[in-house]
A and B are shown apart, each in its own frame.
Chain A
C-alpha cells in the first residue's frame, strides 16, 4: 500500500469498491486457549468487506495471571498524556500492575496512539456500588473527562485491540500471536455513516461485554437518549456503542436473560406476536412495551462476546449476513462461510440463523468455572 500524503484530510486512495463490514468469531466451548493467529485467518479472508478504516479484536482468557483484576486497555493520544488519567486511576483504584501494551512498528499502521494496560480492582467501598458499577463509572469518567485518554476495554481476563487499518495488519501491530484466548471476535470496518478513527473501531466494550457489528443502527438517537437516563454516555460517534451499553443495562443491571435481551433488541413484529399462544404472547408484549426504546432498528448482524460465551444476532428481516459453523467443541460465527472455512477447513456443520433469532453459545460448565466468576 502506498504512503498517503494526506492521512487525515483525505480518505484512503483506492478504487471504489462496494463493501460492508465483516465480522467473525469463535468460541472454544471447552475453554481451550489458542493464539490470536487463528482469528486473523478468518478476518483476513474477508479483507474486501473492510476498507482499511478500522479493524479490531476482542480476546477472552488472555490474562490468566490477573484473572481477578479488571484489565483496562487505555489508548492515549501521546505517551506524555498519561499523567492525568493515571493520577485519577491511582486515586480511585488499586493498581496491581501497569504496563505498556506491546506494539510492533508496522509499516501499514502509521501514526498510531500510545497504549497502556492496567490490572485494577475497585477499593473496598461502602457506597453500595458493586465493583462492576464502580468500574463502569470509572470508564465513563475517563472517556468523558480525561483529555487524551480513551478506555478500549475494561473486563476481567479479556481485552480489546483495535484501531485504524486493516484487521490483519492491526493483529500484527498488536502482536496478537502472543496472546492466547478461548474466545475471539474480529471486525474489519467499512465506515459509512461515521468517521473512521481509532476509538471508533470495533469492538465496542464495557466490562467484559464486547460487540462487533455490521450494519447501521438507525434507532441510535432513541437508544442513546434512553441509555442516558441510566447514566451511560455515548462518546464515540458510532451507532454500535449503544448495543454494548444496552446489553449491559438489560442483562447485568436489569437481570434479563440473554434470550430476553435479544427479544428486546430485535423484537418480533406485532403481527407475529399476535399469532403466538399464551404465555409467550404476554411475555413478548411486555418486553416490547417496557423496552420499546431499546429496540434496534436498521440492518445489523452483530457478535456479542462475554466471559461465558458468544452470541450472534441478526436484525428482524436479515439485512446483513451471518453464518454459523460447528466443529467439535468449537463454534464459529462469521459474515461469510469462506471465513469460517479459513478458520477451520474441516468445519462440519454450516447453517444460517433465522432473522432476529439469536445464536447463543456458552462455555461448558466446568471451563466456565475455571475461567470466570460472573454470569
Chain B
C-alpha cells in the first residue's frame, strides 16, 4: 500500500502521484489529509486498484473513472462520479450536488444525504448499466433527464423532516428505473413517468445490490421492506422520437 499525505498538495501533483503509482503496479493507495483537492482519480482506467480517501475530496471525484474502487471515509462534495464509466465509489458520509451526473457504468454508494441534481442524465446501454444507491434523502431534480441505469434512494440513514426526494424528480426521464423507499409526493414527479409497486423481478434485482451497499458501508439497516418502495419508470421510452421526424 502507498500512503500519500495530501496536506498542502495541489491536485495535479496528487493525481500525478496516483497515476505514477498505478503505472508502477501499486494496487492500494491511502490518501490522507485530503483537503478539497479536485479531480481525484479522474479518468483513471485500471482494474483492481483501490483508493482510500481520508479527509474531504473536492469537486468531480472519480469523474470519467473506469475500473478503480474509491472509498471516501468522510463527506464528499459536488460532482462525484461525473460521467463515470466503471468501477465503484463508496462515500461514508454525505455528498453534494450533481452526484453521478451522466454516469454510464459502475456503482456509486452514498451513505447519507445527497444534494440537488443527483443522477441526472444517468444513462445505460446493454450490460453497461450504472447503479447509484443513496442511504439518505435527495434534493430536487433527482434523476432529471434520466436515460438509463438505476437510481435507488433509501431515506434510511437520516431522521430529518424533509421528504425522501425533492421536487422535479424524474422530470424528463425517458429511460432507466428509479426505486424510492418511502412516500413520493406525486406533485414532485415529472409528467413522463408513472409509479408502480415492486414485482418479484424487482426484488430479485434489488436484494443483492442492497446487501452489497450495506456490506460496503458497514451498515445494518432494515431496508428490505419492499412493500414501502415505489418504482418509477418512464411511460414512453422515446417521448421525443418523433420530434424532428413527423
Contact = CB atoms under 8 A, between A and B. Distances in A.
Nearest to A323: B96
A321 B162 CA distance: 19
Interface string A326-365: 0000000000111101100000001110110000000000
A48 interface: yes
Nearest to A269: B167
Interface string A33-68: 000000000000110100000000000000000000
Given A275-B187, A354-B139, A338 B35 contact: yes
B139 A338 contact: no
A355 B38 CA distance: 24
SS of A interface (majority): mixed
A342 B59 contact: no
**How many A residues are at the interface, by size bracket?**
20 to 34
A45 B36 contact: yes
Given A341-B36, A355-B140, 5 more contacts: A48-B38, A317-B116, A317-B140, A336-B58, A338-B77
In the A-B complex, list the 5 residue pairs whose CB atoms are closest, starting with the nearest. A338-B36, A318-B116, A338-B56, A337-B56, A352-B115
B42 interface: no
Which of B38, B59, B96, B141 has the most A CB atoms < 10 Å from its CB?
A: B59
Nearest to A338: B36
B140 A336 contact: no
Contacts of B187: 275
A341 B58 contact: no
A197 B56 CA distance: 33
Contacts of B66: none
Contact of B139 (A323, A336, A341, A355): A355
A51 to B, nearest CB: 14
A52 to B, nearest CB: 15
A355 B116 contact: yes
A318 B140 contact: yes
Interface of B: 11, 35-36, 38, 55-56, 58-59, 75, 77-78, 94, 96-97, 113, 115-117, 139-141, 162, 167, 187
Contacts of A321: 77-78, 96-97, 115
Nearest to A317: B140
Interface-central residue, A272, A337, A342, by most chain B CB under 10 Å: A337
Given A46-B36, A48-B38, A342-B35, A352 B140 contact: no
Counting chain B CB atoms within 10 Å of each CB, which of A275, A318, A350 scores highest? A318
Contacts of B35: 45, 338, 341-342
B167 to A, nearest CB: 8
A65 B182 CA distance: 58
Contacts of A338: 35-36, 55-56, 58, 77
A69 to B, nearest CB: 39
A55 B175 CA distance: 44
A51 B208 CA distance: 46
A363 to B, nearest CB: 26
Contacts of A323: 96
Of A48, A338, A350, the most chain B CB neighbours within 10 A belong to A338
A336 B56 CA distance: 10
Contacts of A317: 116, 140-141
